[in-house]
Each structure stands twice: as C-alpha cells, then as structure tokens.
Amino acid sequence: MENTIKLVGISGSLRKGSFNTMLIHAVRELLPEGMELEIVSFADVPVYNADHDTPAAAERPESVRIFRDALAKADAFVIATPEYNYSIPGGLKNAIDWASRGTDAPLNNKAVALMGATPGMWGTVRGQHAFHPIFQFLNMTTVRKPEVFIAKAGEKFDESGRLHDEATRKVIAQQLEALKKLISQLRNA
C-alpha cells in the first residue's frame, strides 16, 4: 500500500525480558490501519566516536550504517524507553547521537511518539522529559497528548510478555492515533 505510514520502533533497553521491548511489541498489535512498524535494535552500535563519523560517512562502522539506513526508511518513530538515573539510557542516547549527525541524519524533521514502562511508580516521567531538548535540536515533532507513562509494569504484562492491561492498551492506541494524525498534518503542511 503506497500511503502506508512506516514507523520504526526502538526499545531503549537491551535487557532480556525488558518491559520496554514488550511495549514495542504491544505497539505493533495496536497500530491503527494504514501503519506498519519495524522494530530496530541498537545493540550492535558502538560508542560514538566523531573520528569515525565523517561528512562523507565513509568511515562510519557497518553497524551504524545499517542502523541509520533502517531509521531513514521511517516516516516516524515510536520510542519505548526505561529511565536510568532520571534520564535517557546511555545506549539509546549513544544510538541517537550516531543517528543525529550529518545532513543525512535520519531523525531530522520526523515525528515521534515516546512512551516508557518501569516497575517503579513514576512511569519514566523524568526519563521522557530528558528527550525534549534532543527532539528540539533535531526538529522532531512529538506527540504531546496522550502521554504514556507505564508504572508497575510487572503487573501489566503477562508471563509471555503480552500487555494485558486494557487501560494501558487504550492509551497506547490513542497515542498511536495521535501520531497518525500528526504525520498527516506534517505531510499536508
């Protein structure tokens, strides 16, 4: 389908059994019609080193080129992230740094929906807040409402990793509808 909106989903956690990886899989189940999601991992992306990030990109590591190419195909992004020390997980921030450089930066001027899950009580509020300066720098347009902060995540996913909490599923579906509307507005602007 030519008008299909292509999303890339990224989990900010590399941990086996990550609630945020489970959350990205729940996003795939809840996508509105006309959207598709490719889940992309940054697990193989090395620590950012500007010596290997030349304007011609000839020196970028192969894993970085693969990661950036996957992101470049997206109309928008869905990021599900934990909160580490009240902020963005280092590995995810590192991947964003690789994807934010150069005139061909695949994150520039794209829409993004942000969500997070945690076993704690705050639902990644502080961690999500830390993304806003990055999104501003990259001229990314974020879904403002509804926000998706999933607290006590262990109670919301079953043993197989499926999100079973209906209230949470509903707010995620609403955020994805808002993302779809935002992408349409940006395309028509």
Quick: pLDDT tens for 150-183.
999 999 999 999 999 999 999 999 999 999 999 9
**Residue 94 is encoded by which pair of tokens?**
């590192």
According to the model, what pLDDT value does residue 103 have?
Answer: 85
Q: What is the CATH number of the domain that holds 124?
A: 3.40.50.360
For residues 29 and 39, give the distance between their C-alpha atoms in angstroms, rounded to a whole number: 12
Sign of torsion over alpha carbons 130, 163, 113, 10: positive
Cα 73-77-82 angle, rounded to 5 deg? 135
Q: Of the candidates 99, 106, 107, 102, which has an alpha carbon nearest to the alpha carbon of residue 54? A: 102
According to the model, what pLDDT value does residue 1 have?
Answer: 44
Quick: pLDDT tens for 96-135.
999 999 888 999 999 999 999 999 888 899 999 999 999 9
According to the model, what pLDDT value does residue 34 have?
Answer: 96
Number of structural domains (the chain) is 1
For residues 43 and 136, give the distance between their C-alpha atoms in angstroms, rounded to a whole number: 25
Q: Does pTM top 0.85 for this prediction? A: yes
According to the model, what pLDDT value does residue 57 have?
Answer: 60
Domain that holds residue 174: 5-188
Task: Output the average pLDDT for the chain.
Answer: 94
For residues 75 and 148, give the distance between their C-alpha atoms in angstroms, rounded to a whole number: 21
